[in-house]
Structure 1
Amino acid sequence: MRRLLLGMLIVGGLVFAGTGFRVWQVARIDDRSHADVVIVLGAAQYQGQPSAVFEARLRKAKHLYDAGVAEHVVTTGGRQERDRYTEAEAGSKWLRAKGVPSDRTVSVGEGNDTLGSLRAVADAVKARGWRTAVLVSDPWHSLRARTMARDAGLDAWVSPTHSGPVVQTRERQFRYIWRETQALLYYRLTKASADQLGADLG
């Protein structure tokens, strides 16, 4: 029994470490291959103004749009109780203010976590005949977002932001990698959201 328990602990440790390495590895990818759409994962907004984390993602999406990576940008994210705007609406508003034409933005204001948002946006994107997508989120979030998007039927790759509060210190980076590793393993085991594992995981 001791050997069995020790073996299980070793295997579990290897799986966790391997997943953490993949989270770190995919965070370093910046794939700017041409796609049908750029999809921006939502984050907090305040009365229509994106938070610093969300704005960093939107700036990256605007850069990809300007570079011709895709002709449309899709913003995602629902609203919290008492919010006037969804995250998706706040994102589209910011993009329009920065010069992206309104007919080039699509707002999908459904879902209060990564899984719900990506399932909703996948339905909206496929309904328009689009299939390929570049996902923009924080680096450490990229692998889980890509996994969920592909499970939802999109041919997706990642071009994460490398600016903003999430990447400011090594301590914060390590904390996010740790949390994302847990969230990704939970999703792979259950195909469910990991929001109960901690705030901001989704």
Structure 2
Amino acid sequence: MNELQSRDPQDNRNDPHSTGSASETASDTIANNTPDTTSTNTATGASTDATATTSEYTNDTATTATTNAAADTITPDIPTSTSTNAKTTTTETAATATTAATTTTAATTATTATATTATASHIHFPLRQTATTIVCIAALASLWYARAVYNTHTGTSFWLFWVALALVLGVWTAAIWFHWWRALPNAARIPIGIVLCVALCGFGMSQAAIVSHMRDEGDRSLDYIIVLGAQVYQGSPSLVLRYRLDKAAEYLRANPGTTCIVSGGQGPNEPYAEARGMADYLEHDAGIDASRIIEEPDSTTTVENLRNSRAIIDSANNTGSAGDAASEPSIGIVTNDFHVFRSLQIAHDQGYTDVRGIAAGSPRDMLLNNMVRESFAEAKYLIKR
């Protein structure tokens, strides 16, 4: 007992089966002179408590280890679910990335399209403005030209064509500016486009045919020349007719054996028959002998000019009857350069077989009017033929 009381408390710390609280309790018991039995019991109880505590700790540790082991045994199924979830998450992430990329691409495309549209609109506006300006200027020029043609007093009303053209160009100007053409359905645009293309092609072909005969000179020593009539005024021919008469006088002086037929009746705005005025000009102004000039005063169109003149030639029977190719007289048709092609065309339809064109000049400032008018006259002739 005395050995127990004199033992250093440090020895209890070295006991692996005791705790700090048990040692301190034993020390306190000894210090208070507690009876031996109590001290022994207390020590024994403390030791037992320490042992129980140690056992509980050991059991808890073992239980925890067992639980962890069991958990480790069950856990292997978890990685599969985690892997699946990871794959799902990865797929969703990829889908999200793809969607984002698609959205970005769509946005980029939309931005590019918007920029392109803006650029096209930016480019389109100056083009539309330029086209509108050009067509508007053409409309004003057409009005000015209509006035110029009217002031020449050609005896025709074709100057109204240029007024009508100015109106059409004015509507066209508005159509370009306000996008009327785009507003039309295809069912309307296609036929209109076809008609315009056919009309332009026909106009181009007629102009090419007209130009191809604008320098015809005829042959020398023809039996007859026929001078086609045009507007006459009191005491003088019109400028267009003067070109024809001067060319006829030139040919007659160079070919003294040729007879001249002047053909033309009296129009509503003329003081007398064109044939009369033409004969007077050739005789008094050009110095051609009246015996070489035959008047045909009844025709009012080119078709009638050539038909009636052919009847005179046949009735004169100077060189044979019509239709006999061996005795067919040689004939030249004197008219303005823009009129030669259609005159020859009509002559062939009238039965002329040996015929030539002799192109006279024409006023240069009226050439556009005369060329366009001739295309319309050609179309009219082909329709009525």
The TM tier, using the shorter chain, reads 0.7 to 0.9
Q: Does 1:186 align with 2:380?
A: yes
Offset of 1:173 from its aligned partner?
Answer: 1.6
C-alpha displacement of 1:63: 0.4
Residues 63-88 of structure 1: per-residue CA shift (max 9 Å, x gap): 00111175111101001348553111
- Aligned position for 1:151: 349
Secondary structure of 1:153's match? coil
**Counterpart of 1:34 in 2: which secondary structure?**
coil
For each residue in 1:90-123, what CA deviation from the matched residue of structure 2 results, as whole angstroms up to 9, or x when unmatched? 1111112132222111000011122222221121
- Return closer, same or farther for 1:33/1:15 CA change in 2, 3 Å cut-off: farther
How far off is 1:132 after superposition?
A: 2.3
Contact 1:40 1:135 in 2 (8 A): yes
Q: What amino acid sits opposite 1:157 in the alignment?
A: R
Aligned-residue offset at 1:5: 7.5
Give the letter aligned to residue 289 of structure 2: P
Letter paired with 2:215: R
Q: Which runs of 5+ in 2 are unaligned?
A: 1-186, 320-328
Q: Is the 8 A contact 1:79 1:109 kept in 2?
A: yes
CA-to-aligned-CA distance 1:146-200 (integer Å, 9 cap, x gap): 11122112232211112xxx4323xx32222121112112212212xxxxxxxxx
- The amino acid of 1:85's aligned partner reads Y
For 1:82 and 1:6, the matched residues in 2 are separated by 40
- Equivalent residue, structure 2, for 1:199: none
Is 1:115 the counterpart of 2:309 in the alignment?
no
Residue of structure 2 aligned with 1:125, choices 309, 313, 325: 313
TM-score (norm 2): 0.44
Farther off after superposition, 96-105 or 56-65: 96-105
TM-score, normalised to structure 1, is 0.80
**Secondary structure at the counterpart of residue 360 of structure 2:** coil
Relative to its length, the structure with more helix (as a share) is: 2
- Say whether the 8 Å CA contact 2:259–2:293 is kept in structure 1: yes
**Higher share of residues assigned strand:** 1
Equivalent-residue separation in structure 2 for 1:8 and 1:81 (angstroms): 36
Instruction: Describe the SS at the equivalent of 1:135.
Output: strand
The match for 2:280 among 81, 93, 111 is 93
- Match of residue 48 from structure 2: none
Q: Percent identity?
A: 24
CA distance in 1, matches of 2:224, 2:302: 18
Amino acid at match of 2:281: W
Asked whether the 8 Å contact 1:62–1:95 carries over to 2, the reply is yes
Unaligned runs of 5+ in 1: 192-202
1:167 is matched with which residue: 334, 341, 363?
Answer: 363
Q: Within 5 Å, which residues of 2 pair with 1:48-67?
A: 48-67=235-254
8 Å Cα contact 1:146-1:158 kept in structure 2: yes
Which moves more between the two structures, 9-18 or 127-136? 9-18
Whose relative contact order is higher, 1 or 2, with alpha carbons under 8 Å and at least 6 apart? 1
| Alpha-carbon distance, 1:141 to partner | 0.9
